[in-house]
Amino acid sequence: TALFYVAIFNLPLFGIVRKGIEKQPEVDPLFIASMPLFLTFALSFLFSIFTVKYLLKPFFIVLTLLSSSVFFAAYQYNVVFDYGMIENTFQTHPAEALMYVNLASITNLLLTGLLPSYLIYKADIHYQPFFKELLHKLAFMLLMFVGIGIVAFFYYQDYAAFVRNNSELRRYIVPTYFVSSASKYLNEHYLQTPMEYQQLGLDAKNASRNPNTKPNLLVVVVGETARSMSYQYYGYNKPTNAHTQNQGLIAFNDTSSCGTATAVSLPCMFSRMGRADYDPRRANAQDTVIDVLSHSGIKVQWFDNDSGCKGVCDRVENLTIDLKSDPKLCSGQYCFDQVLLNKLDKILAVAPSQDTVIFLHIIG
């Protein structure tokens, strides 16, 4: 099993190693040759912990299916399953997930996921009596540990220098990195005691409100992720903003996002934290800008056509668009964002009785 993981699932890792070698041409060839051996020893040592009767097959079947998907993401899209990606996977919109279901991904799952899992399921494994089996396992683990030690004895300094110069290496190791990221996510979201919730801005007042004028209405469109470097507004030399360039829009240059995943960017965007000090647990345990607007007496509404508001709109009026609400604009898997305009038209047909902020979360 470890050999299969090293030879197949860790191909993206060795691609990073190759790039590292190009930057350090003086690297010892024997050190490079030791990497697959070292990884095989290490994974064999870890895997042997789970080679227990009744646990072995279900554990490795699940691990192999997950590793197959992680491998494909890294190999095809150079996407690493870190904490943020795990969080995004748990909270993604079905339409976004379906975008990655294609011939290539299905073929990969069949060849590197389902087929090996079937072979594991059909494998005829003979177990020794408990203590004899335990001794064999301990002996094997000791042998793998010695192998790790021998490689480290000869090449520890090489590994330390190479990893220091190529810090992203560990992120591509399958399955250890994505398993540790998933464990961290599950621990923080389901196992840890939630932080005590903190309300903010309870004394907020709508000081600019003039009772002698009509109520104000502000519509905020929360868009899909886009790269600022590809926007003409930010200096890109191609006309990527042709549709809006004559509408007098203002581009704010001195801004940054906490991440490209909706599960990260939305809570950060509406929190009082910045990119440098953003803490998702703390963000989820305190009021957002939306809550403070509501505390001040402003009516707040959130209409969602994406993967949800990630908690930022939970305490105000909110609505997620029904995927079957409009046969012309919805396919049952997603809706075009125009469906939000239809909802907005109905709201605007009645003059607001108080200052109102409407958020439209688009799928893009």
**pLDDT at residue number 227:** 78
What does the pLDDT look like over 307-358, one tens digit per residue? 889 999 999 999 999 988 889 999 878 899 999 999 999 999 998 889 999 9
pLDDT at 243 over 90: no
217-225+260-361 CATH:
3.40.720.10
Which residue type is seen at 69? S
- Can you name the residues that pair with 274 across neighbouring β-strands? none
Q: What does the alpha-carbon distance between residue 84 and residue 182 come to, in Å, rounded to a whole number?
A: 10
pLDDT at 95 over 70: no
Q: In this structure, what are the phi and psi dihedrals at residue 107, rounded to the nearest 5 degrees? A: -60, -45
Average pLDDT over residues 217-221: 94
How would residue 16 be classed by pLDDT, with cut points 50, 70 and 90? very high
**pLDDT at residue number 324:** 86
**pLDDT at residue number 133:** 93
Which CB contacts under 8 angstroms, 24+ apart, belong to 319-323?
319/343
What is the chain's mean pLDDT, rounded?
92
Q: Which residue has the higher pLDDT, 194 or 70?
A: 70
pLDDT at 291 over 90: yes
**pLDDT at residue number 337:** 94
**pLDDT at residue number 43:** 98
Helix boundaries (H) for the chain:
2-4, 11-23, 29-48, 56-77, 83-91, 94-98, 103-108, 115-122, 130-165, 176-186, 262-269, 280-284, 289-295, 338-348
3-class DSSP state for residue 59?
Answer: helix
Helix axes 11-23, 130-165, angle to 10 degrees: 30
What does the pLDDT look like over 161-190, one tens digit per residue? 999 999 999 999 999 999 999 999 999 888
Q: What does the alpha-carbon distance between residue 364 and residue 362 come to, in Å, rounded to a whole number?
A: 5
Sign of CA dihedral 239, 242, 247, 250: negative
Q: What does the alpha-carbon distance between residue 22 and residue 97 come to, in Å, rounded to a whole number?
A: 35
The domain limits of the chain are: 2-191, 217-225+260-361
Whether pTM > 0.75 for this model: the answer is: yes
Taking every pair of C-alpha atoms in the chain, what is the biggest distance, in angstroms?
88
**pLDDT at residue number 108:** 97
